[in-house]
């Protein structure tokens, strides 16, 4: 069996506060193979972005506590690296695309210069090679005239173009793993389709493993092979994309899917919602965190935490953390 | 205290050949016309930068049109005296995309909801307190939230507060500018539910701006599609979602469909790429799958068809009589 491109084992993130421990990410494990895309889906505040930051080791200065058995890229554990060693990995082996390109790009440098800086730091094989790599990466994300974009400042680009430039920057060193955090959320549907299409193309060309974080299930459906559904820092369901949408097993997954507005020939008479709302990390209910909102909850659900059983009948990689699955 | 006198027969809002530009250079809205009847919901859809929000701002008279008129209850907003404009603004309220940015972090919910009542000098102190409680109830919040600050709420609750602030003055028209775009699907569904209640129980008309057609489907009676400042199609919603007329509408629907695996056509690049054709061409000609030679040469007129007593307008050469298999007539 080949080594997974990204392997995360027993990752937890929490804050120590005066009023006690705030658990943000609760002991999650997953792995992504080269060339595959795994979606991480859940409502705002469920811990998706914190998971990404913890993988990259970006939470050190934030006061958050991070604990993991291992975070491996191509079999190499990066969770134990020093800050200096980590800087050599970020951008080269693993890179991230953020939700707000406008905030992630530096307004005072041209796009070309910012992309070139990444390549120079990690590859550094001379000015002309760096420039060629920079223009190539812009061309690969779909810009017909990369020189023009390279000379532009971030404010001269539309949101969609800036996001494509961000993807070019993240992929200039052809990392093995790409984390895309809501890469298309702020964009309209046409532009979103372009972004997702370009991410897929890059993946096909370089065999990148992608962790795609989104609260938008239609984005997940269009782009992922596997999906992880997260709620209050825990993974409730892990499965392949097709099974999730055709036959979700966790009641929460089913609820999320039924909330997606559909385009039907007849105007829908009512809108389906999930009752209640996401609890705050300071007031997590005991047992299964979703139990108070769940119409299938049993007495066991409020007493103990259902484990995410993987390797069940459906396939090796799927599982559901529920005492009363669908 | 607050009474809105409906004028039968007259559309609530009339937008007539509205043109807007920034610094008199960039045309952001180009001769857009539509009517909105009382109690109806118009879904305004289009890509970012199509001019949707600029129309909303012009309706509130926050930006001045270069040309064209906006009539509210039959009166031109541009020629209203200050008193009339203030009254119009009481009756036209807006809800923005990002609730955390549109609520003041330093004001409690009570202060936030009281301000519009004070500004428009509505009622006395007792009436105001009643009205605030009543409005909170309408949007599904308890009265015990009054002394709390925006940061103490989830984004869905914040959006309810923003909607309550808009509703407190008892408007006839609510402009929702991407009001649910920033929310999670589960939260979005509940806000859409609230909007449906406001439509049916309170008879409020909505100008519902969104780039998400699936969301528009849940709430709109009519759909208007914008592209690069122009209105390309205006149609009853049922008709739009079953038989879109304009090639751009068809493309939008194809990408928006949740089950679709359709990919954007080559050359469908993010905004900022200029399509081919001069100013005399159809704005969509460079991107259109059905481009004909005439599209590069001549700007299309609006063609109109009747559907259940409601007009369906489309700005496309395909609906010139010579090409169409349905009766579309040119609008003068």
- pLDDT tens sequence across B173-214: 999 998 888 788 888 888 899 999 999 888 899 999 998 888
Q: Is residue A294 in some structural domain?
A: yes
Q: What would the mean pLDDT of A208-220 be, rounded to a whole number?
A: 90
pLDDT tens digits for range A220-274 = 988 899 999 999 999 999 999 999 999 999 999 999 998 888 888 777 777 788 8
Binary contact (A161, B196; C-beta < 8 A): no
Reply yes or no on whether the pLDDT at B310 is more than 70. Answer: yes
User: Shortest CA distance to B109 belongs to which of B160, B68, B40, B175?
Assistant: B160
pLDDT band at B85 (very low <50, low <70, confident <90, very high): very high
Task: Residue B255: list chain A partners with CB under 8 A.
Answer: 189-190, 192-193
A35-66 per-position pLDDT tens digit: 999 999 988 888 999 999 999 998 887 788 99
Q: Please state the domain count of chain A.
A: 1
pLDDT at B46 over 90: no
Whole-number Å distance between alpha carbons of A205 and A35: 9
Chain B positions touching A191 (Cβ under 8 A) are 47-48, 270-271
> Would you state the pLDDT for residue B43?
96
Please report the pLDDT score of residue B22 as a whole number. 78
Q: Which of A100-109, A177-186, B3-12, B116-125 has the lowest mean pLDDT?
A: B3-12
pLDDT for residue B267 is more than 50: no
The model carries a pTM of 0.81
* pLDDT(A219) > 90: no
Say whether pLDDT at B92 is over 70: yes
pLDDT, position B279: 66
Domain-located, residue A28: yes
User: What is the residue whose two structure tokens read 């259109």?
Assistant: B288
The B-side interface with A (CB below 8 A) comprises: 46-49, 154-156, 184-190, 192-193, 196, 211-215, 217-218, 237-238, 241-242, 251-253, 255-258, 261, 263-264, 268-272
Angle, vertex CA B297, rays to CA B293 and CA B300, nearest 5: 95
Per-residue model confidence (pLDDT) at position B271: 44
Does residue A139 lie in a domain region?
Answer: no
> Nearest CB to B256: which of A189, A256, A268?
A189
For chain B, how many residues are written? 332
Considering the domain boundaries, does residue A216 fall inside one? yes
What pLDDT does residue B173 have? 96
> Span A195-203, mean pLDDT?
85
Strands (E), chain A: 6-17, 20-32, 37-41, 65-67, 70-73, 76-77, 94-97, 177-181, 209-214, 226-231, 234-240, 309-310, 319-320
- Indicate the pLDDT class of residue B290, thresholds 50, 70 and 90: confident
The pLDDT value given to residue B332: 57
Per-residue pLDDT band for B275 (boundaries 50, 70, 90) equals very low
Q: Half-sphere exposure (CA, 13 Å, Cβ side) for A31?
A: 17
Which range is least confidently modeled, A25-34, A35-44, B305-314?
A: B305-314
Chain B residue numbers with beta carbons less than 8 Å from the beta carbon of A255 are 186
Q: Which residues contact B150 (CB under 8 A, 6 or more apart)?
A: B99, B100, B103, B104, B105, B107, B109, B112, B158, B161
pLDDT surpasses 50 at B270: no
Residue A92 confidence (pLDDT): 92
In the DSSP assignment, the letter for residue B265 is: P
Summarised one tens digit per residue, pLDDT across range B121-168 is 999 999 999 999 999 999 988 888 999 999 888 888 899 999 999 999
Q: What is the reported pLDDT for A314?
A: 45
Cα–Cα distance, B92 to B58 (Å, whole number): 12
Tell me: the pLDDT tens digits for B239-256?
A: 999 889 999 998 888 877
Higher pLDDT, B263 or A212: A212
Residue that wins the pLDDT comparison between B261 and A303: A303
Query: In 3D, which of B36, B39, B34 has the Cα closest to residue B171?
Result: B39
Q: Which CATH number do you get for residue A291?
A: 3.40.50.300
Give the least confident one: B1-10, B108-117, B151-160, B288-297. B1-10
Neighbours of B289 (CB within 10 A): 10
* Predicted pLDDT of residue B174: 96
Average pLDDT estimate for A122-127:
91
Q: Kindly report which listed range (A82-86, A94-98, A320-324, B274-278) carries the lowest average pLDDT score.
A: B274-278
Domain that holds residue A78: 6-106+175-320
User: Taking 80 as the threshold, does the pLDDT of residue B329 lie above it?
Assistant: no
CB-neighbour burial class of residue B69 (10 A; exposed 0-12, middle 13-18, buried 19+): middle
Distance, CA of B247 to chain centre: 21
If one compares B6 and B279, the residue with the highest pLDDT of the two is B279
State chain B's mean pLDDT as an integer. Answer: 86
The confidence band for B323, taking pLDDT boundaries of 50, 70 and 90, is low
Does A127 map to a domain? Answer: no
Helix (H, G, I), strand (E, B), or coil: what is residue B147? Answer: coil
User: Taking a contact as any Cβ pair under 8 Å apart, which residues of chain A between 232 and 271 contact chain B?
Assistant: 255-256, 259-268, 270-271
Q: Determine, for residues B186 and A259 on separate chains, whether the beta-carbon distance falls below 8 Å.
A: yes
Percent of chain A with pLDDT over 70: 97
Residue A316, φ and ψ in degrees, nearest 5: -65, -30
A313 pLDDT higher than 50: no
Measured between beta carbons, the chain A residues lying within 8 angstroms of B186 are 43, 255-256, 259, 273-274
Q: Which residues of B touch A278 (CB under 8 A)?
A: 154
Q: Is residue A308 part of a domain?
A: yes
Burial A72-82 (b: 16+ CB within 10 A, else e): bbbeeebbebe
- For residues A316 and B173, the model is more confident at B173
């Amino acid at each position: 069996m080949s080594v997974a491109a990204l392997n995360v084992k027993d990752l937890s993130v929490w804050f120590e506060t005066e009023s006690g421990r705030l658990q943000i990410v609760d002991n999650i494990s997953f792995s992504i193979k080269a060339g595959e895309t795994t979606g991480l889906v859940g409502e705002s505040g469920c811990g998706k972005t914190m998971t990404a930051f913890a993988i990259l080791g970006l939470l050190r200065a934030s006061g958050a506590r991070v604990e993991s058995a291992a975070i491996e890229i191509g079999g190499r554990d990066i969770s134990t690296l020093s800050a200096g060693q980590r800087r050599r990995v970020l951008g080269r082996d693993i890179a991230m695309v953020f939700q707000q390109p406008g905030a992630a790009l530096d307004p005072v440098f041209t796009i070309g210069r910012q992309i070139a800086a990444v390549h120079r730091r990690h590859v550094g094989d001379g000015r002309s090679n760096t420039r060629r790599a920079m223009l190539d990466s812009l061309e690969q994300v779909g810009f017909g005239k990369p020189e023009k974009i390279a000379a532009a400042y971030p404010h001269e680009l539309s949101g969609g173009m800036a996001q494509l430039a961000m993807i070019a920057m993240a992929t200039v060193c052809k990392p093995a793993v790409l984390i895309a955090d809501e890469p298309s959320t702020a964009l309209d549907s046409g532009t979103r389709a372009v972004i997702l299409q370009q991410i897929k193309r890059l993946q096909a060309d370089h065999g990148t493993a992608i962790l795609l974080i989104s609260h938008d299930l239609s984005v997940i459906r269009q782009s992922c092979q596997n999906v992880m559904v997260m709620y209050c820092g825990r993974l409730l369901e892990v499965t392949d994309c097709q099974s999730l949408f055709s036959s979700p097993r966790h009641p929460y997954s089913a609820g999320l899917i039924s909330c997606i507005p559909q385009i039907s020939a007849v105007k829908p008479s009512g809108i389906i919602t999930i009752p209640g709302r996401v609890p705050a990390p300071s007031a997590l209910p005991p047992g299964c965190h979703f139990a108070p909102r769940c119409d299938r909850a049993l007495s066991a659900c409020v007493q103990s935490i259902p484990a995410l059983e993987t390797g069940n009948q459906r396939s090796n990689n799927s599982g559901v953390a529920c005492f009363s699955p669908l | 205290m607050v009474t809105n006198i409906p004028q039968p027969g007259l559309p609530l809002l009339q937008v007539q050949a509205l043109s807007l530009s920034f610094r008199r250079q960039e045309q952001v809205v180009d001769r857009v016309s539509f009517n909105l009847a009382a109690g109806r919901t118009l879904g305004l859809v289009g890509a970012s930068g199509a001019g949707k929000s600029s129309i909303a701002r012009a309706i509130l008279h926050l930006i001045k049109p270069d040309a064209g008129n906006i009539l509210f209850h039959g009166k031109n907003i541009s020629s209203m005296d200050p008193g009339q404009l203030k009254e119009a603004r009481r009756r036209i309220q807006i809800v923005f995309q990002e609730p955390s940015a549109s609520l003041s972090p330093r004001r409690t919910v009570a202060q936030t909801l009281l301000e519009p009542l004070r500004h428009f000098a509505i009622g006395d102190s007792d009436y105001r307190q009643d009205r605030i409680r009543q409005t909170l109830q309408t949007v599904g919040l308890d009265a015990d939230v009054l002394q709390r600050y925006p940061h103490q709420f989830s984004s869905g609750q914040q959006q309810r507060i923003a909607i309550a602030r808009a509703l407190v003055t008892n408007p006839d028209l609510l402009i929702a500018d991407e009001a649910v775009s920033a929310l999670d699907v589960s939260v979005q569904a509940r806000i859409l539910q609230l909007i449906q209640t406001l439509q049916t129980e309170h008879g409020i008309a909505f100008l519902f701006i969104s780039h998400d057609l699936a969301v528009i489907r849940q709430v709109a009676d009519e759909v208007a599609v914008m592209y690069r400042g122009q209105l390309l199609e205006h149609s009853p919603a049922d008709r739009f979602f079953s038989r879109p007329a304009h090639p751009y509408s068809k493309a939008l629907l194809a990408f928006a469909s949740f089950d679709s695996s359709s990919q954007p056509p080559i050359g469908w690049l993010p905004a900022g790429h200029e399509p081919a054709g001069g100013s005399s061409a159809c704005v969509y000609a460079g991107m259109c799958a059905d481009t004909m030679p005439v599209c590069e040469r001549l700007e299309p007129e609006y063609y109109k068809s009747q559907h259940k007593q409601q007009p369906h307008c489309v700005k496309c050469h395909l609906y010139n009589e010579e090409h169409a298999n349905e009766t579309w007539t040119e609008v003068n």
